[in-house]
Structure 1
Amino acid sequence: MNPIIGIVSCGFMNERQFVPQTYIHAVEASGGTPVLLPCTSQEETYAGYTDICDGFLFCGGDDVTPFLFGEELLTDRGHTDLNTDRSHLSLMRHIIDSKLPLLAVCRGMQILNIASGGTIYQDISLRPSPSINHVQLSQSRADVSHKVTLSSNSLLYNICGESLYTNTFHHQCIKTVGEDLRITGITADGMIEAVESVTHPFRLGVQWHPECMYCTSAAMQKLFHEFIKFSSNSKVIHVV
């Protein structure tokens, strides 16, 4: 039986919740069974999610409400939704506690970092050093825009090699890294593009969108296949 991968809803839109098709396709094409997980205010529901799923894919989305990581609002850029933010942070903490495999994409990586006690920059312009453009202008989300250098002795390095070119669609980024996380990918301007757990074999956050590159990038296909492979053995990892 293929591993069940819980794909977390991106949030609320006009009283609806949604997940882009690209996430579903990447999971299915890599050998997983996708199950869409809605946000909810019921904590017991999240315990049910960790019972039925073998791994979790946390999608991208809007910005995170600043007071949830201890800051006042400093910029007028972006959009936030407090209900989505609270739901995502609560579910992320359940996933961390469950010790199940996790692939967190873009906003998902930022949620992972905040749930682990870290912080983010509300806008890249608030970083103390100059930044390259991290919101690409190409018509296709599969196009690549910048180079990410990966740390040796990291999960991503073992999967993708010492560097790779990725797409980029974000104006927020990690400031301080949360507990049990380490930086494993950066761009030329020092922007944090990937973090991994120090203690878990597959708890990974990436700032780019690998699901959009799945059909054109062998490295992103390998990333998803490795995620599905770890999820296939997740109950063994969970017991240990």
Structure 2
Amino acid sequence: MHQPSQARPIIGVIGNRYLRANTSSTIIAGAVSTYVGAIEAAGGIPLLIYLTDDQQVLDRLYGLCAGLVFTGGEDVDPMHFGAERHPNIGTVVPLRDAVELALARRALADRKPMLGICRGIQVLNVAFGGSLYQDIPAELPAASDHYASRAQPERAHAAHPIALERDSWLAERLGADTVDVNSYHHQSLKDIAPGLRVTGRSPDGVIEAVEGTGAAFILGLQCHPEELWDTAEPRWAAMFRGFVEVARGAEGRRDRA
């Protein structure tokens, strides 16, 4: 049973812009429903932060949120970590980069909890001063196929295990130091930003999880747990509940300050 509505923290889910099916110009602002469902089931109230360059709108939406979720999607423009574009880089969305990088830095300063998923872990690393491998097959040729789940009919397809640091928040929440995950990425973390530590890797050494080392709660995941928590791997539900609990606690401390 959920907590009473006044105790349920608002969690900002940063959305994207999608082309409506069977049209060439109609754009939908939204977020994939599995992110929203995972936060709601975990006891939070998801709030869409849509992409806009209106700073007043972003300020108001940000101010309502006890925590932020950075979702999956396109590649981060390598200009943001001082690199030239690799020939195999995918689509970049300048507005999304601008919105997310700014919100991540603001949340770090405000100690607002953050959860980054797939692209989200990469955004957080870049926002705080890290860099990325722009194309795993080209730059890490010995690595396994990290897009393996894309070829499967179910997005919950378990592509490989990840090993977690036993003293990590994530291992404690999952109650395990290894877990099988799905995999949908061709980029990964390279140089780790100050204030982050690696807490999970795939068997080939690719970074799969990071956590913050400072006062702000930060969790970054390269897999897509929003596709796993309800049936394929229920232990991920504990991760989402834990994030919502952290956000609730952080909001309560700010209210008392």
Question: Cα distance, 1:66 vs. partner?
Answer: 1.4
CA distance in 2, matches of 1:27, 1:94: 22
Gaps spanning 5+ residues in structure 1: where?
Answer: none
Q: Does 1:34 align with 2:31?
A: no
Gaps spanning 5+ residues in structure 2: where?
Answer: 1-5, 20-25
| Residue type at the aligned position of 2:40 | E
CA distance in 1, matches of 2:199, 2:88: 30
Quick check: 181-190 or 9-18, which moved more?
9-18
CA distance in 1, matches of 2:59, 2:215: 20
Q: Does 1:235 align with 2:241?
A: no
* Equivalent residue for 1:138, pick from 141, 144, 152: 152
Q: Is the 8 A contact 1:3 1:54 kept in 2?
A: yes
CA distance in 2, matches of 1:94, 1:179: 16
| Residue type at the aligned position of 2:70 | F
TM-score, normalised relative to structure 1 = 0.94
CA distance in 1, matches of 2:171, 2:51: 32
| Residue type at the aligned position of 1:78 | G
Quick check: 3-12 or 19-28, which moved more?
3-12
Q: Is the 8 A contact 1:50 1:98 kept in 2?
A: no
Q: Is the 8 A contact 2:196 2:210 kept in 1?
A: yes
* 1:198 equivalent in structure 2: 213
Quick check: 206-215 or 84-93, which moved more?
84-93
* 2:235 equivalent in structure 1: 219
Structure 2 counterpart SS, 1:193 = strand
Q: Is the 8 A contact 1:101 1:203 kept in 2?
A: yes
Q: Is the 8 A contact 1:47 1:94 kept in 2?
A: no
Q: Is the 8 A contact 1:10 1:19 kept in 2?
A: yes
* 1:80 equivalent in structure 2: 92
| Residue type at the aligned position of 1:91 | L
- Could you give the per-residue CA deviations for residues 65-100 of structure 1, whole angstroms, max 9, x where no partner exists? 111211111123421111221121112211222211
Question: Cα distance, 1:233 vs. partner?
Answer: 0.9
Question: Cα distance, 1:237 vs. partner?
Answer: 4.5
Quick check: 46-55 or 205-214, which moved more?
46-55
Question: Cα distance, 1:17 vs. partner?
Answer: 2.0
Structure 2 counterpart SS, 1:196 = strand
| Residue type at the aligned position of 2:198 | I
Higher radius of gyration, 1 or 2: 2
- Could you give the per-residue CA deviations for residues 198-228 of structure 1, whole angstroms, max 9, x where no partner exists? 0136310000000011212221111101011
CA distance in 1, matches of 2:139, 2:207: 12
| Residue type at the aligned position of 2:226 | E
CA distance in 2, matches of 1:72, 1:231: 37
* Equivalent residue for 1:4, pick from 6, 10, 20: 10
Aligned pairs, how many? 240
Q: Does 1:115 align with 2:121?
A: no
What is the RMSD of the two structures over their aligned residues, measured on CA atoms? 1.7
CA distance in 2, matches of 1:143, 1:57: 22
Structure 2 counterpart SS, 1:233 = helix
Question: Cα distance, 1:47 vs. partner?
Answer: 3.2
Q: 1:8 to 1:140 in 2, by over 3 A?
A: same
Q: 1:11 to 1:97 in 2, by over 3 A?
A: farther
* 1:150 equivalent in structure 2: 164
Structure 2 counterpart SS, 1:6 = strand
Structure 1 counterpart SS, 2:200 = strand
Quick check: 36-45 or 193-202, which moved more?
36-45
CA distance in 2, matches of 1:19, 1:109: 17
* Equivalent residue for 1:159, pick from 166, 173, 176: 173
Question: Cα distance, 1:45 vs. partner?
Answer: 3.6
CA distance in 2, matches of 1:139, 1:12: 22
Q: Is the 8 A contact 2:162 2:200 kept in 1?
A: yes
